[in-house]
Amino acid sequence: MTEKSRLKRVPKRGIYDRNEAYKIVDNNYICHLAFIHNGIPVSIPTMYGREGDTIYLHGAMASRLLNEVEKGFDVCLSIAKVNALVLARSAFHHSLNYESVVIFGKGKLVTEKDKIKALKVISDNLLKERWEEVRHPNKKELNATKIIAISIGEITGKVRDEGVNDHPEDLNLPIWAGLVPIKQQFLEPIHAKGVKENIKIPKSITKLINERK
């Protein structure tokens, strides 16, 4: 950890243990990758997958994001999930309960021989065991796909998981205060057009829904 990744605001909420920070990474689906393109700051949301100390991103060969990141410049990647609205008696103290990570690293192009492995990592982050149920990418699809590996140089997590922090003088105001929890829930699957009636919902999806009920 350096000054670049050290929390300045409410440092007690910081998570510097990699294994703990990786739990947040692995429990989410989309990241925002920030980089400089032609002198202009850009932040783009994209899917990802993690294996060890590496984040994998994929996209089209012409992807502005991937073409820039593969040059090896410093990049910053962030992930965040909101778990509750924190509603105080005063507007000043409204907040969110959340979990987040910020990652600093450098990207490099994944070679042809490692593309399948990297795509499986991304697929597993989306839904475990789905890779084993579907057709794998063919040569044409692989040739049209670019994959970038971002080595995680530094990572910092930050979590707010607490109640309302009103000023003492506001506690007797006749105003409701509290939390409104937010729950991520997987609903019943919706069949794609053309799926035959005799094709059952696969194990990966039923397992996901049962685990998150």
Residue 87, in any domain of the structure: yes
pLDDT score at 35: 85
Q: What is the CATH number of the domain that holds 75?
A: 2.30.110.10
Residue 34, in any domain of the structure: yes
Which residue in this structure is represented by tokens 């507007």? 91
pLDDT score at 78: 97
Residue 170, in any domain of the structure: no
> What's the structural domain count of the chain?
1
Torsional sign, CA 185, 99, 67, 143: negative
* Number of residues assigned to the chain: 213
Residue 126: what are its φ and ψ, rounded to 5°? -70, -50
Q: What is the pLDDT along the chain (213 residues), one digit of tens a residue?
A: 676 666 667 777 889 999 999 999 999 999 999 988 888 888 999 999 999 999 999 998 888 778 888 888 889 999 999 999 999 999 999 999 999 999 999 999 999 999 999 999 999 999 999 999 999 999 999 999 999 999 999 999 999 999 999 999 999 999 999 999 999 889 899 999 999 989 999 999 999 988 766
Instruction: For residue 96, give its domain range.
Output: 11-164
pLDDT score at 4: 64
Residue 172, in any domain of the structure: no
Q: Find the largest Cα–Cα distance for the chain.
A: 68
pLDDT score at 178: 98
C-alpha span between 148 and 136 (Å, rounded): 19
Residue 188, in any domain of the structure: no
Residue 187, in any domain of the structure: no
Residue 17, in any domain of the structure: yes
CB–CB of 25/50 below 8 Å? yes
C-alpha span between 144 and 167 (Å, rounded): 57
Residue 179, in any domain of the structure: no
